[in-house]
Structure 1
Amino acid sequence: MDFLGPHVFGYLILLVHSLGLVAAVHAVLTVRTAQGSIAWAMSLFFIPYLTLIPYLIFGRSTFDDYIRARRDANQEMREAIIDLNWRPWVEEALSARKSAAYTSLRAMPRLGRMPCLANNSVRLLINGTATFDAIFSAIRDAKEVVLVQFFIIHDDELGMKLHALLMEKAAQGVAVHLLYDSIGSHSLPNAYAETLRAGGVQAQAFATRGGWISRFQVNFRNHRKVVVVDGIKGFVGGHNVGDEYLGAKPPLSPWRDTHVEVSGPVVACLQESFAEDWFWAARKLPPLILPQSYPEGGVLCQFLASGPADPYETCSLFFVEAIHAANERVWITTPYFVPDEAVFSALRLAVLRGVDVRILIPSRPDHKIVYAASSLYAFEAVRAGVKIFRYQPGFLHQKVVLIDNEISAIGSANMDNRSFRLNFEVMLLTVDDAFATEVEHMLLDDFALAKEITEADIKATHRLQQLAMRVARLVSPVL
C-alpha cells in the first residue's frame, strides 16, 4: 500500500479543513470581541494550515478549567473556615456606602467580587528599594503564615535574598507558600523551587494545565503580585522579583515602579485571591488567617481581582468605570498603552467633559512591538485632547490610576488587551483624600521628569515608523 499516495494527502487536507471549520465555529461562539471572532474564523476557514496551532495556543479567551477549580476552591474554603468569621464585610461594607466619592463608582460594588471595606491603613511604596525593604521586613517578622505570589522571579541577587529568607522562615516553623507564573518565570531554574521545597517551603508554578486543551494554552498568565504576612499585612503593586526592579540592570534603569502596603479587613480579600490561585496550582487551600479586630477609621479599600475566569471583562470595565467617574482629573501611568475601544472612548468623553486627562508612558521600550503600538495609540490620544507624557529617566513600569481628589488604584494591571482579557490581575482601589494626595505628589514628581508628546512630535515621525506602528497595532490583541 502506498502510504504517501495522493489519496492520503487528500484525506489529510480534508481533515485539516474539517478541523479548521470546527475551530472557526468555536471561535464564532466563544471569542469575546467581534473583531477577534471574525479574524480567527476567516483565517481558520481559509488557511487552517497556518492558523490551527496558533488558535489552539492563543485563541481561547475564557479559562474554563480555572473556573471549575475556582468553584471547588470556594466550596472547600466555605467548609474549611466554617467556624472562622471570614469575610469581615458587613459592618465595613456598610461604612463604605457613606462615602460620596465611592458612590461615584456606581458599578464597582458589583464589578468586583469583593466589596469596598473600611478601617484599613495603606502605605505608598515608591520604587523597588522601599518595596522590598518593606516586604522582607514583614516576612522576617512573620509568626504563622507567609503567602508570596509574583509573575516573575529571577535567581539573581534579589531572587536569592527572597529564597534565603523564605528558607529561614520555613525552618522557624512558619507556613511559607510561594506561587510564581510558569511563563513569566520561564528562566527560573528548577533548582530554585526544588531547594525551597526541600527546606519546607510550599512552592508551586501557576501553569495553564488541566484539561487537554488547556495544556496547550500560554495566553492565560498569572500577572498578579500579592504578598500576605500572618493575615495582617498585604502588599500589591507592579514589582516582580529581579534586580532590574531595583534599577540594577541597564539599559532600562533606573526602573520606576510602585507598590502599596495595606493592613485591615481588605487583607482577607488578598488572601482569598491567593487561595484561589494556589488551589488551581496545588489542588488544596493554603492556611488562612483572619485577625478579629481592626482599628476604627482609616481608608476605604476595594481589592479587585480580574482574569479570564471572570464572567465579563472585569479589568477593562474597571478602567471604563474609573474614567467615567472622573469630574476633575484622571491621571494614569502604564508601561503599555494599548487601550480597547471602550477605554479609548471613555478617555475621549472625559476630555469632552473638561476633565484633566493625563497618561504617563515610558520613553524607552522593553518590548519593541508593544512600544510601537503604544506610540500609535498615544498619537491618536493626543489628537483627541489627552495629554500624553513620556517618562525620561528610565523604564516606567508602574500601574497607577488617580481619580479626582480621593480615589486611587495601584496594582498589576496594564492598559492593554492582555491585562483586560487574558491575564490574571489585581488592583487595590483606595478612597481617601490624604492617600490620594500622596499619590498626587508622587505623580507630579514623575510628570516633572517627563516630556509631553505634541503635534510637532507626531508630524516629525517618519512615514515608515508610522507604518511600523500600524502593523504593530494589528497584533495588539495578543500583545
Structure 2
Amino acid sequence: MQYLPLALVSALVLVLHAAGVVAAIHALMHTRTPQGAVAWVFGLVLLPYFTLLPYLFLGSKRFTGYAELHHSRLARLRQLDDPAQRALAAQYPPHAGAQRYQAISKMLGVPFLSGHRLRLLVNGKASFDAIFEAIAGAEHYVLVQFFIIHDDELGRRLQAALLERAAAGVRVHVLYDGVGSHELPASYDAILRAGGVQIHRFATRRWRNRFQLNFRNHRKVVVVDGWRGFVGGLNVGDEYLGLKPPLAPWRDTHMELQGPAVADLQLAFDENWHWITGEPLALLPPRAGEGHATSLIAATGPADAQETCSLFFVQAIHAARHRLWLATPYLVPDSAVNAALQLAVFRGVDVRILIPAIADHRTVFLASSLNAHEAVRAGIRVFRYQPGFTHQKVLLIDDDTAAVGSMNLDNRSLRLNFEITALNIDTMFASEVEQMLKADFAQAIEIDASEYGRLHYLYRVLIHVARLFSPVL
C-alpha cells in the first residue's frame, strides 16, 4: 500500500487552510447575520476540510444578475408615488385599517388596494379543485409556479390540465424549483414541451444551481388570464392531498383572490420568468374584483436590499392589538420576530401558535420544539396539531386581517428563500380564517409550561444542539 509523501500532504493541508481563509473573508463580508458569519468564519478557518464544500453550496450568494434585474423592475414598476400607482389607489382606495401595515407597503413598494373577492381554500382537495377549475376556463394564459412538483397522480393531473389548455391555444408558462423538485424526471418536462407548454427550472445561478441549497424559490403561484390568482402553502404532490402516511392527513391552506392585486401576483411570476428566459411576458391587467376586501401581495426574497420576509412578520406582529394567531410548520424565528412576539404578549395580545406534533424534517422539528417551550415560558400559547402534519402558513391579526401564503417561520423563509403571501384586510375573510383556525386548535394539544422539565435530559441536550443549526434550517 502506497502513502502520499509527507511534503504533498503538508502542501494539501496548507492549500486547504489558505482556501478556508479566503472563503472565511468572503463569509465575513457577505453573510447576512453576525451569527451566521461567526459560524462560517470559525468553521472555514479551523476545519476547512469539512466546511469548504458545504460553503460552496450553502454560503455563497451568487445571483447578482437576478438582484440587478429585481431592483430595476422595482424602480420601474413599483413606485408608490408613480402617477399610475396613485391613480390605481384612487380607483381602489384601501381600507382604513391598512394604515397599520403601511411600513410593509413602503418596504415592498406595493400598494394596498381594495376591490378584491377572496376565497379561503382549506386543504388540498378544495385548493386543487379550484385551481383545476380555473385552469380549465383559461382563455389567454396560465402561469404556474411551485416549489415542488411530483410526477405522481396529482402531478399528472396538472400535466394533463396544462396540455389541454395548450392544445386549445392558451399560453401556458410553468416554473418549478430545481432542488424542491429534484425528483421530477426529465420526461415530465419533455411531455409538456411537446404539447406546447413552456416549462423551466428556476435558478439563481446557472451551472451549479441544482446543488445550491440556499436561495430557493419557495413560492406557490397560479394566475389565470390575469384576473384569477391563487397563493398559499400547497405544492403539487399526492402527499398534499393527504395520500401519503405517516404525515397524512396533511393540513394546508391556500386562497384565491380576484381583483387589482393579482397584477402584483403575476408580476412576481414574470420577474422570475424574465430572469430564466431573458424575455418578459405579455400580461393582461386584472379585471375589477366583485368584492370589497383590501389586499397586498408581499413577494419577498434574498435579492431584496432588506430582509423583507423577517420585516414583514415583525411589522405584522407589531400591528396586532388584541389577537395574533399563527400557523406554521416550523417554529425557528429569528431574534427580531421572537422579540416582536414577546412584546405582543406584554401588550396584552392573545398570541397563539399552531405547530405540528409530528416531523417532516427531524432537525427542524427538534429546534422548533425548544423554541416552542421557550415561547410558552414567555407567555405565548403554543399548540401541537394532532390529526396529521400541518403545513399551512397562516396569520390572523385582530378581527380584520389575515395572511395566507408560502412564508414559514424559519431562517430559510426569513432570509434565504423567495416567498410570497397575500395580506388581506376584510372582516368576513378574517372571520372565515378564525373559524378555520378554531377548528385546528380544537384538534391540537396545548404545550404546558412544565413539559420541558419532564423531558429526558439527553433529549433536552439534543434539542439545544438542533437549534445551533437554526441559521441553515
Decide which of 287, 295, 301 is 2:282's aligned counterpart.
287
Measure how far apart 1:60 and its partner are: 3.1
Contact 1:113–1:304 at 8 Å: present in 2 too?
no
**Pick aligned residue for 1:150 from 146, 151, 175:** 146
Per the alignment, residue 443 of structure 2 pairs with 449
The answer on 1:303 being equivalent to 2:303 is no
Q: Which residue matches 2:125?
A: 129
Change in CA separation of 1:62 and 1:325 when aligned onto 2, cut-off 3 Å: farther
Matched, 1:408 2:402: yes
Pair 1:445–1:279, CA change in 2 (3 A): same
- Show the counterpart of 2:176: 180
* Identity of matched residues, %: 54
Deviations 1:292-314 (A, max 9, x none): x5257611110000111111111
Q: Which residue of 1 aligns with 2:59?
A: 59
CA distance in 2 between partners of 1:418 and 1:299 (Å): 30
5 Å matches for 1:246-325? 246-291=241-286, 294-295=288-289, 298-325=292-319
The amino acid that maps onto 2:89 is A
Partner residue, 2:68 = 68
One-letter code aligned to 2:371: Y
Aligned to 2:381: 387
Does residue 1:239 correspond to 2:234, yes or no? yes
Q: Greater shift after overlay, 15-24 or 468-477?
A: 15-24
Is 1:198 the counterpart of 2:181? The answer is: no
Measure, in 1, the Cα distance between the counterparts of 2:410 and 2:462. Answer: 18
Listed as ranges, the matches of 1:81-160 within 5 Å are 89-94=85-90, 99-160=95-156
Question: 1:61, CA displacement in angstroms?
Answer: 5.1
Unpaired segments of 5 or more residues in structure 2? Answer: none
CA–CA separation in structure 2 for the residues paired with 1:65 and 1:20 = 26
Inter-CA distance 159–214: structure 2 relative to 1 (3 Å threshold): closer
Residues 395-434 of structure 1 mapped to structure 2, 5 A cutoff: 395-434=389-428
CA 1:61–1:96 in structure 2 vs 1: closer, same or farther (change >3 Å)? Answer: farther
SS at 2:297 equivalent: strand
**Is residue 2:158 matched to residue 1:162?**
yes
Cα RMSD of the aligned pairs, angstroms, is 2.3
Q: CA deviation at 1:336?
A: 0.4
Question: Matches of 1:348 and 1:33 in 2, distance apart?
Answer: 21
Residue 56 of structure 1 deviates from its aligned partner by: 1.1
TM-score in terms of structure 1 length: 0.93
Identify if the C-alpha distance between structure 1 residues 367 and 121 changes in structure 2 by more than 3 Å, giving closer, same or farther: same
Matched residue type, 2:236? V
CA contact (8 A) 2:94 2:294 kept: no
Distance (whole Å) between structure 2 residues aligned to residue 295 and residue 304 of structure 1: 19
Measured against aligned partners, the alpha-carbon deviations of 1:59-96 in whole angstroms (never above 9, x if no partner) come to 13574232134357679989xxxxxxx99632343477
SS of residue matched to 2:144: strand
Partners of 2:102 and 2:85 in 1: how far apart? 18
For 2:464 and 2:75, locate their aligned partners in 1 and report how far apart those are by CA, in whole Å: 47
1:329 is matched with 323
1:276, 1:339 → 2: CA distance? Answer: 28
C-alpha distance after superposition, 1:300-346 (max 9, x if no partner): 11000011111111111111111111110100000000011111111
Q: 1:202 to 1:276 in 2, by over 3 A?
A: same
The CA distance in 2 between the partners of 1:382 and 1:61, in whole Å, is: 35
In structure 2, distance between residues paired with 1:57 and 1:378: 30
Alpha-carbon distance change, 139 to 88 in structure 1, aligned in 2, over 3 angstroms: farther
Question: Between Structure 1 and Structure 2, how many residues are aligned?
Answer: 469
Deviations along 1:269-301, whole A, 9 cap, x unmatched? Answer: 01100011112222222331114x525761111
CA drift of 1:215 comes to 7.3
Cα offset, 1:457, TM superposition: 2.3
Counterpart residue identity of residue 171, structure 1: A
Amino acid at match of 2:196: G
